[in-house]
Amino acid sequence: MLKEKNKKLQLVVFLGLILALGSLIFSGCVSTGQTKEGESSTLVTNSSDSQEEIKVLEGEILEGTMNTLRVKDSDNKEYSFLTEGLEIQTGQTGLKIGNPVEISYKGNLDPEAEAQEVEILSIEVSDLVDSNSADSQEETKVLEGEILEGTMNTLRVKDSDNKEYSFLTEGLEIQTDQTGLKIGNPVKISYKGNLDPEAEAQEVEILSIEVSDLVDSSRQKAENILAKMTLEEKVGQMFIGRSPQGSGLEEIKEYKLAGYILFSRDFENKSKDQVIAKNQAYQEAAQIPMFIGVDEEGGTVNRVSRNKNLRPQPFQSPQDLYKQGGFDLIRQDSKEKSDLLKSLGINLNFAPVADLSQDPKDFIYKRSFGQDHEQTAQYVKEVVTVMKDQGLASVLKHFPGYGNNLDTHGQVAYDKRPYENFEQADFIPFKAGIDAGANMVLVAHNVVEAMDQDNPASLSKNVHQILRQDLDFSGLIITDDLAMEGVKAFGDKGEIAVKAVLAGNDLLCSSDFQIQIPAVIEKVLSGDIDEDIIDQAVLRILEEKIDLGLIK
């Protein structure tokens, strides 16, 4: 009996041990398991059965597309995920490189795998926040500079340190003023990231691009001067007079002249010091610094270099220079000429001649380059560029192109060529000079019937509109001398000056300014000439004088 009781007790103990062991095993199955470094896990206890843990990867986006996502975690380990068909929660900037990302998943990550074989439960992407706030954010930076090149898709900018940066702007909204992406316009670019002047295109996040019109300081200065000028002073600024026989100083003070054009008599038998002193006296007599101009074309038209005290030999014609040394010699000659004139106090040369002529019988032939429109255009470009570099103002003449016309110094000349001739040939050298930065264009007295049958070009509104609009010239338009026979038939001295102003000339080249200035003033006072026409011309004149450094 005792033996049977002992057997039963042993069986109870054995069963208790088995139950206790089973409890320990079950407890181990539902406890929190170990995870890989950098991952967190969560126990799921929705049922009595064990469930696979949910893990979370936190990092930043290295690459994001419609189908894949590459992420870097805090230990710089990289993982690629296939995301096709998955819903991804994002902020405003979407799958932008660098944006923070949080991926909830089941399974184990493998940084060596091409794509992670895990069950993705959710992907949440947030915008990168500003480091200046409580959360870490990337700093917003601003680049201020000027436009070097602007197209629909790209923008090249130079900053204050002369460093250049190119940006891809396709699809971006750019705020601009009236002149748009004009070269030289100020630009402000707000962005996130780092600029690299060596990069072909900047890899930064562009937040905004604002382009403003260039505030022309010379225009502001000119407007300030204009606001203080009397009508007499303004009209006087529209006249370049032929220097009188005497001192010329009283005329400057009385008529407030824009400048003088000098002729051979002003240099004849004078020493260099005498010429300099005379020109300096002109400037000292003027309330507003003057244009001191001359016709020094080379060849048949030389005013300065005919005087051996100023140069051993007269300057050669463009044709002779080109035959001897091509455009290299043209450039050398232009530089020497500019240096000489500047040293004498002359700041304006009525050159180069942009007229086309290849026929030695033409009046203008010897003064022209003597080549076709393409070669002549290159000649004009070279001369204007050198003059501009040397700080000497240039004048393209004789618009719209002299052709085979008669000499308007002695008679009226009628040009019967069709308009297509000018478009296909004569305009081209003028356009080349304008694009190179010519300061002035001189308009001839030829009656160009294809443009205006009733008036010489110098008095024709239509010719001036063609120059402004079709050739896009914004500089100073000046007449040929209004004392020439080619224009005298179209009115008396006063009438001609008034017509020249109404046609659109800024400057009137006049041997009769003592008569013509009062005539223009009278027509302004009577209302026949709107004073705004005078103001706009004088603004351009003042701006040119400022840009040349005459007005400080």
Report CA-CA distances (Å) from 510 to 259, 290, 487, 517: 10, 15, 12, 10
Helix (H) or strand (E) holding 540: helix 531-547
* Burial of residue 14 (number of CB atoms within 10 Å: 0-12, 13-18, 19+): exposed
CB 317 within 8 A of CB 365: no
CA distances, 479 to each of 162, 364, 385, 400, 499 (Å): 41, 17, 23, 12, 11
Query: What is the Cα–Cα distance from 251 to 244, expressed in whole angstroms?
Result: 8
Helix, strand, coil % in the chain, rounded to nearest 5? 35, 20, 45
- The single-letter code of the amino acid at 104 is S
Q: Are 145 and 135 in contact (CB under 8 A)?
A: no
Question: Which residues belong to the active site?
Answer: 409, 480
Q: What letter would DSSP give residue 309?
A: T
Dihedral pair phi/psi, residue 437, rounded to 5°: 105, 25
Q: Could you tell me the two tokens for 100? A: 């923070």
Query: Reduced to 3 states, what is the DSSP secondary structure of residue 508?
Result: strand
